Amino acid sequence: MARRLSHRPPSAAPDPAQRRRRERRALGLILIGVLLAHALVLSWLRGLLQPPSLLAQVTALMYTRTITVQAPAPVTAAAEAAAPVSVPNRPTALIHKAPAAIKNKVAKAPAQPASAPPPAAAPEPETLLPAPDEVAVAPATEPAVAGADAASAPQAAASAPATAASEAGGTEPAFLAGWPGDTRLAYALSGNYRGELHGSAQVLWQHTGTRYQAAVQLDVGILLSMRFTSQGEITAQGLAPEVYEEQVRQRRRGVRIGDTVRLNDGQSVPRPEGVQDTASQFVELAHRFASGQIAPTPGTSIRLWLARPGGVDEWTYDVVGEDTLQLPRLGAVPALHLKPRPIDKPRGPISAEIWFAPTLQYLPVRIRLTQGPDTYMDLMVETIEQQ
């Protein structure tokens, strides 16, 4: 039987145009792979070459309760008489006198009964909540407000109990009672940068004894991540930052604050009294409002020195009024609106408006970062957790 031979036509030669397209596609893929490899190598080298972090390691935070809006608590005569005289030692319970502080109408405590022993010579609340035209945020040992001489004696006496307590048995100083426990504020982030932005942010506060850490974190996915961290000491006069660090993506810059301020480039500049930094200012201002050291009435101006890796500048915040914020989970919350004035020599076009809520321990419930009319990030608090 004869074998049947199949006849196959010769394959057609490939089209030259199609061959060139394949070659260009392969060359493009190779080029993209080379660029990605170079980017990974450069990122790895940048991580090796950048200076080590200035920050000390801290224990992770733990929270046991969620904070909600609280109505102002009535202050009885006994509680007013037992309240410490010193402004830095104002008890946390007096935080809830916020609406009266906003309007600068602090009710006097009722008179003591005839049978009660006369209380110690404590100034009335009005003397602890002055309403100056301009307030300089400085240590309590310096006159921080107009007419502060009247409160200087109680402030000077504040250090005596703390010293006695530390010498007696190593217990925590009395002034720590006015500071909140470990706190985490979680924000919803929205804004605009060549289009709409959405992300999350946090303000973190924790302290062990007199050592503290305050941090601000912003996360906008692959577009941007930032973290500003402050570490230092809690004193009777307020926060005393020692190290401040900014990390934007993988770039890290820091500043050391001691007898002088050592900037990121190694230059040392004088240290102003009461200097803070970008992260510590939120907690420091909240504490001064809550303790009555500053009466944040509309029309008040607050001066504050801030240290950043590029330099030290004096900022002025104007209390422009009281707004009612509609927060995503906490509802309608009254908040004091602080707006910064432009500074003479800005180290960048970013400015921060801050809203502090008296019924939420004067914590910053809204932060708006602005970089021009069409570039901004707006942080609105969603939850507040504390230890």
Q: What is the pLDDT of residues 325-352, one digit of tens each?
A: 999 899 999 999 999 998 877 666 678 9
Distance CA 304, CA 297 (A): 17
Residue 378 pLDDT > 60: yes
Residue 119 has pLDDT above 80, yes or no: no
Instruction: Look at residue 344 and tell me if it is in a domain.
Output: yes
Q: What is the model's pLDDT at position 19?
A: 82
Q: How confident is the model at residue 194 (pLDDT cuts 50, 70, 90)?
A: confident
Judged on CB neighbours under 10 Å (0-12, 13-18, 19+), 337 is buried
Q: Is residue 265 in a domain?
A: yes
Answer whether residue 195 is part of any domain.
Answer: yes
**How many domains would you assign to the chain?**
1
Averaged pLDDT for residues 13-21: 78
pLDDT higher at 180 or 141:
180
Q: Is 276 exposed, middle or buried (0-12, 13-18, 19+ CB in 10 A)?
A: buried
Which residue type does 313 have? D
Instruction: Give the DSSP H/E element, type plus range, for residue 21.
Output: helix 16-49
- Per-residue burial over 358-370, b if 16 or more Cβ lie within 10 Å, else e, is bbbbbbbbbbbbb
Q: Is the pLDDT of residue 150 over 60?
A: no
pLDDT at 108 over 50: no
345 vs 18, which has greater pLDDT?
18
State the DSSP code for 62. -
Say which residue the tokens 């809204």 belong to. 366
C-alpha 226/C-alpha 252 separation (Å) is 10
* Tally of CA atoms within 13 A in the half-sphere of 224 that contains its CB: 18
Mean of pLDDT values over 125-134: 37
Tokens of 156: 């000077």
Question: Is the pLDDT at 117 greater than 80, yes or no?
Answer: no
Instruction: Please check whether residue 358 lies inside any domain of the structure.
Output: yes
pLDDT tens for 234-245 read: 999 999 999 999
Residue with tokens 């500048």: 313
Beta bridge partners of 204: 184, 215
Residue 258 carries which DSSP code? S
Tokens coding 297:
């009435």
Position 5 in a domain: no
Q: Say yes or no to pLDDT of 198 above 80.
A: yes
Determine the average pLDDT of the residues in 8-34: 77
In this structure, is residue 40 part of a structural domain? no
What is the average per-residue pLDDT within 352-357?
96
Kindly state the average pLDDT of the residues 211-233: 92
- 299 DSSP assignment: T
Q: Give me the pLDDT at residue 256, please.
A: 96
Q: Over 90: is that where the pLDDT of 211 sits?
A: yes
| Strand blocks (E) in the chain | 65-66, 134-136, 183-192, 196-208, 211-219, 225-235, 238-248, 251-257, 260-262, 268-270, 276-277, 301-308, 311-327, 331-340, 351-357, 363-370, 376-386
pTM for this predicted structure:
0.65
SS3 312: strand
Stated as kind and residue range, the H or E segment containing 25 is helix 16-49
Whether 277 has a pLDDT exceeding 50, the answer reads yes
Specify if 122 maps to a domain: no
**Residue 214 CA, distance from chain mean position:** 7
**Structural domain for 169, as ranges:** 57-81+88-106+128-387
Backbone Cα Rg of the chain: 29
User: How far is 343 from 246, CA to CA, in rounded Å?
Assistant: 21
Contact 174, 89 (CB under 8 A): yes
**Residue 315 pLDDT greater than 60, yes or no:** yes
Q: List pLDDT tens digits, range 60-106.
A: 666 668 878 776 444 334 334 433 333 333 333 333 333 443 344 33
* Residue 375 falls inside a structural domain: yes
- In this predicted structure, the answer to whether residue 177 has a pLDDT above a threshold of 60 is yes
Mean pLDDT of 163-180: 68
Residue 118's pLDDT band, with cuts at 50, 70 and 90, is very low
